[in-house]
């Protein structure tokens, strides 16, 4: 008979979590296991909140399965309760809720060209880098990747192979929103809000400037050390986000 801690670590770190999913959402399953483990440790919500350095209401939200709870809160819980968390395995749990990269690319092009009225330099290379930063920021904030495909560390920076196969023949030509065979209506309000934030921050840079930026950052550099076109680790993306966005 597994302890509550072992069950929760199964959910967070090993393929064993899949048997706990059934028809419930990830948030609900985690909430049940969090509460069970807290009660097993004979801690009140107030006591746990003090251990985590957060408000009691945050613990209540965590145990209620609140959607979009921050990664920093989840990490604080795991640290306080001496639990392990592996982001690569976590991604597998929520893969059915991920978006098609073409849907995300569609909205990126719509925001750039329809809202920001900037389309003169949205090449395939720049689209790849904007998509990568959407993935990085989304995962950093919500502990969920936004798209279902991984990024690889190619010569010119992070690349989503599905997007590459779709637009490789565009070369240095502009990618217009009408060229993207995706459906931005499938995205949630949270998805759109974050994409708009990323575009507002990064679209001002040229494709080459974004390429150089990704080359200077830890996720791409670590992946390239392992070989050409190696997958960029979600763990590295999360660590980089925390260092540059949370701790600064």
Q: How far apart are CA 157 and CA 220, in angstroms?
A: 7
- Report the sign of the C-alpha dihedral through residues 16, 223, 235, 139, in that order: negative
Question: What pLDDT, in 10s, does the model give residues 144-165?
Answer: 789 978 899 999 999 999 999 9
DSSP letter at 65 equals T
Cβ proximity of 128 and 159 under 8 Å:
yes
Question: What pLDDT, in 10s, does the model give residues 21-71?
Answer: 333 444 455 666 677 777 777 778 888 787 777 788 878 877 776 544 555
User: Considering only 83-87, 123-127, 143-147, which range has the smallest mean pLDDT?
Assistant: 83-87
As a whole number of angstroms, the longest Cα–Cα distance in the chain is 62
DSSP letter at 16 equals G
Instruction: Looking at the structure, tell me whether residues 90 and 187 fall in a common domain.
Output: no
Q: How far apart are CA 148 and CA 135, in angstroms?
A: 10
Mean of the per-residue pLDDT values for the chain? 80
Instruction: Looking at the structure, tell me whether residues 168 and 86 fall in a common domain.
Output: no
Return the pLDDT at 21. Answer: 38
Q: How far apart are CA 97 and CA 26, in angstroms?
A: 10
Instruction: Looking at the structure, tell me whether residues 195 and 124 fall in a common domain.
Output: yes
Instruction: Looking at the structure, tell me whether residues 211 and 125 fall in a common domain.
Output: yes
212 Cβ contact list (under 8 Å, min separation 6): none
Cβ proximity of 141 and 67 under 8 Å:
no
Q: Which residue, of 74, 96, 118, is where some domain finishes?
A: 96
Q: What percent of the chain has pLDDT over 70?
A: 70
Q: Which residue, of 41, 74, 96, is where some domain finishes?
A: 96
Report the chain's terminal Cα–Cα distance, integer Å: 44
Q: What is the CATH number of the domain that holds 73?
A: 1.10.260.40
Q: Is the pLDDT of residue 13 over 70?
A: no
Q: Which domain holds residue 89?
A: 4-96
pLDDT mean over 159-182? 95
> Which of 125, 114, 200 has its CA nearest to residue 164?
125
Tally of domains in the chain: 2
């Amino acid at each position: 008979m597994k302890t509550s801690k072992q069950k929760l670590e199964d959910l967070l770190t090993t393929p064993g979590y899949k048997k706990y999913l059934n028809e419930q959402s990830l948030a609900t399953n985690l909430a049940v296991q969090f509460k069970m483990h807290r009660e097993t440790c004979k801690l009140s919500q107030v006591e746990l909140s003090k251990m985590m350095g957060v408000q009691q209401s945050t613990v209540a939200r965590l145990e209620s399965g609140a959607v979009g709870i921050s990664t920093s809160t989840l990490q604080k819980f795991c640290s306080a309760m001496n639990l392990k968390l592996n982001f690569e395995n976590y991604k597998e749990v929520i893969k059915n809720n991920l978006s098609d990269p073409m849907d995300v690319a569609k909205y990126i092009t719509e925001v750039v060209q329809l809202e920001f009225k900037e389309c003169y330099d949205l090449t395939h290379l720049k689209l790849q880098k904007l998509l990568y930063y959407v993935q990085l920021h989304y995962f950093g904030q919500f502990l969920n990747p936004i798209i279902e495909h991984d990024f690889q560390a190619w010569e010119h920076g992070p690349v989503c192979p599905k997007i590459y196969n779709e637009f490789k023949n565009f070369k240095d030509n502009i990618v217009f929103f009408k060229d993207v065979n995706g459906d931005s209506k499938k995205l949630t309000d949270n998805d759109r809000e974050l994409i708009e934030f990323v575009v507002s921050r990064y679209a001002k840079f040229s494709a080459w400037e974004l390429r150089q930026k990704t080359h200077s950052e830890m996720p791409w550099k670590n992946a390239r050390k392992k070989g050409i076109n190696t997958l960029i680790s979600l763990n590295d993306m999360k660590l980089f986000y925390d260092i540059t966005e949370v701790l600064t």
